[in-house]
Chain A
């Protein structure tokens, strides 16, 4: 048999994996990344003279193909700056399903946060991750696989939530025959970021609070250990075992994080008088400093003039 060394073996694997773009408007430019369902390539759209990302299944597989198509359809109905727009969907000459989307260059959240980023910057970033998820929920779509690897930070600081391959459509009045989920009924998601109801494999019992749980896990991951009590309480509430104990939706979670950023009391944490006084002092530290300076000046005047 033909001798194949390790470098040739890697090349052959890549070569046979390469999508057949003959007869299409796309020309292969590189590999952007790999995922559970397939590979994302960077391709040149020869009609529009621009680069786009092409996600293609590694193999022709009817089951996974349905998931890929569903993902494209879900993305197409979610027009939001925090969600990658889909351009095209179809089947390549080699029988594999694909869709094209905007090519986003940037850093994944897990890599982005290795740089020195302050807590308030992290929290503002978190709010921008929560925003497209809240939007998707308003459109009846659950993400179901939120984790740092699925968030991209663009070169201009734009935040994009990626990989909607496990998304679930809650209501679809316009398409009653459509599958309700891009995944099947097996356990879907990523351990560590997956809600208990997802871990149990109960697809029917999953609602927006499953994403609240995952966002809570992302928040906890973003702020790291040793967070202040109100932030800990927010994470604890989002990560409650029973979904009834969690925030009812992403807007409520985001509102609590915003309150914390503004120095206001968060709903997840009951503070005592001392904690409240400290928080108010911190929140109004400029006014307090002015009053203190005024009182000091008055005291000095009183001391030297007796008036």
Chain B
């Protein structure tokens, strides 16, 4: 945790987009699982808001969408020089919905879902209420899709950060970060955190700083996995971390 920061962009993990296009089945499964775990919430939210689909149908369509990603090898057909992955996937959702409305397509619904190499991270029912609240305040389906994408990227990065901290014996550093940066709504003061953790206020700021530095590295790592080229990575990083990032 205390080693110097990685300069420039991280390259420790390979692109999940590239993995999803690999000839190796296990690699493909890993790539798709990563893409799906980040994108399922944006996809579901987008279907709810943009296409006005009720919960059940949006959940089914989300599953169907990822089945199509596999069956039609949509990631293999993705060209990062033409669009960002999330723009491409959003367009694919629009195509899916248009096709889905045809009766012939509807009969095939769910046909590919059973073969999906995905874990049980699609908690549509659990997230339904939260997403419905977000839908009420969203400016547009596209804005909601982007926001849910940002949230998923950070959530994945935070999960990895927690694992790394645990492995490195830095669980307390993570706990401070969790109580301060992940606190819902109002966050505690440094002094309150210091008292609660039995350390000095300067230790709180130092530990927070170190964890945030690691988080930055991991966020860039996650972005690398979710992009198909160096240029796309920079664009996405700028969108997520830059001044324009909403």
> A residues near B, CB below 8 A?
1-5, 7-9, 11-13, 15-18, 20, 22, 34-36, 38-39, 58-61, 93-95
Contact = CB atoms under 8 A, between A and B. Distances in A.
Given A2-B159, A58-B243, A95 B181 contact: no
Contacts of A12: 154, 158, 181-182, 215
Nearest to B9: A60
A94 B184 contact: no
B11 to A, nearest CB: 13
Given A1-B156, A61-B234, A9 B9 contact: no
B216 A16 contact: yes
B187 A11 contact: yes
Which of A1, A17, A93, A94 has the most chain B CB within a 10 Å cutoff?
A: A1
A17 B241 contact: yes
Contacts of B243: 34-36, 38-39, 58
Nearest to A92: B5
A58 to B, nearest CB: 4
Given A8-B183, A93-B4, A20 B158 contact: no
A50 B72 CA distance: 61
Nearest to B185: A7
Contact of B241 (A3, A22, A36, A58): A58
A20 B5 contact: yes
B153 to A, nearest CB: 10
B152 interface: yes
A22 B216 CA distance: 15
Contact of B238 (A3, A4, A7, A59): A59
B5 A13 contact: no
B198 interface: no
B215 A2 contact: no
Given A1-B152, A11-B187, A13-B241, A60 B8 contact: yes
Contact of B184 (A8, A17, A34): A8
B219 A16 contact: yes
Interface residues of B, number: 39
B224 interface: no
B155 A3 contact: yes
Interface of B: 4-9, 37, 121, 130, 147, 150-152, 154-156, 158-159, 162, 181-185, 187, 209, 212-213, 215-216, 219, 234, 237-238, 240-243, 245
A9 B241 contact: no
Nearest to B126: A3
A16 B242 CA distance: 10
Which of A15, A58, A61 has the most chain B CB within a 10 Å cutoff?
A: A15
Nearest to B156: A1
Given A13-B241, A22-B209, A8 B182 contact: yes
Nearest to B184: A5
Nearest to A17: B241
Which of A4, A20, A35 has the most chain B CB within a 10 Å cutoff?
A: A4
A8 B215 CA distance: 14
Contacts of B147: 9
B155 A1 contact: yes
Nearest to B243: A34
A94 B9 contact: no
B184 A58 contact: no
B213 to A, nearest CB: 6
B184 A7 contact: yes
Q: Closest 6 interchain pairs by CB?
A: A34-B243, A95-B7, A58-B242, A1-B155, A16-B216, A2-B158
Contacts of B242: 17, 38, 58-59
Contacts of B245: 13
Nearest to B216: A16
B155 A4 contact: yes
A22 B130 CA distance: 38
A2 B155 contact: yes
B143 to A, nearest CB: 13
A59 B241 contact: yes
Given A12-B154, A13-B240, A16-B215, A94 B7 contact: yes
A17 B184 CA distance: 20
